[in-house]
C-alpha cells in the first residue's frame, strides 16, 4: 500500500512541477503516514466512530474523553498537511517552493501569455 501512495505523491508532484529525486525520503514518510491514516480511519469507523467516549479511570470514576483513535487521526492529519506542504502539494507549500526558485522550468501557457503581454 505504501508503494501505491508513493506513486500517487510523485504523480501529484510532477503535475505541479515540484518533483525531485532528492525528496524521496520525505515522499516515503508521507506515504507511510497516509497508510497509518487509512488504517486508523478504518479502526475508528469499526469501533463506532465516536469522537467522545466514556472512560473509567483507576478510581472507578467514569468521564467523557476524546477517543484516542480520534486524537490519533487529528495528529495524522496535521502530519499529512505538514509533509504535503514540504513537497509543494498545498497552495502555501507550492508558493513557498516557487518563491525559493525551486519551480519547474516549464511555464504554464497562461504564464507565458501574461509574460509576453508584460513585455509589450
pLDDT band at 100 (very low <50, low <70, confident <90, very high): confident
Is the confidence at residue 44, as pLDDT, over 60? yes
**C-alpha cell recorded at residue 113:** 501569455
Q: What is the pTM of this model?
A: 0.79
CA angle (75, 79, 28) in 5-degree steps: 135
The mean pLDDT value for 42-59 works out to 96
The mean pLDDT value for 49-78 works out to 96
- Helices 24-46 and 2-16 cross at an angle (nearest 10°) of 120
| Lowest-confidence region among 24-28, 58-62, 78-82, 94-98 | 94-98
Q: Which residues contact 106 (CB under 8 A, 6 or more apart)?
A: 17
Is the confidence at residue 67, as pLDDT, over 80? yes
Amino acid at each position: 500500500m505504501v508503494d501505491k501512495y508513493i506513486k500517487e505523491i510523485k504523480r501529484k508532484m510532477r503535475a505541479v512541477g515540484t518533483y525531485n529525486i532528492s525528496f524521496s525520503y520525505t515522499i516515503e514518510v508521507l506515504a507511510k503516514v497516509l497508510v497509518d491514516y487509512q488504517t486508523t480511519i478504518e479502526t475508528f469507523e469499526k469501533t463506532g466512530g465516536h469522537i467522545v467516549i466514556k472512560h473509567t479511570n483507576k478510581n472507578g470514576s467514569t468521564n467523557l474523553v476524546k477517543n484516542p483513535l480520534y486524537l490519533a487521526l487529528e495528529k495524522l492529519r496535521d502530519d499529512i498537511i505538514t509533509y504535503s506542504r514540504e513537497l509543494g502539494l498545498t497552495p502555501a507549500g507550492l508558493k513557498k517552493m516557487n518563491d525559493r526558485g525551486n519551480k519547474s522550468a516549464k511555464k504554464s501557457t497562461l504564464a507565458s501569455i501574461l509574460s509576453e503581454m508584460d513585455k509589450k
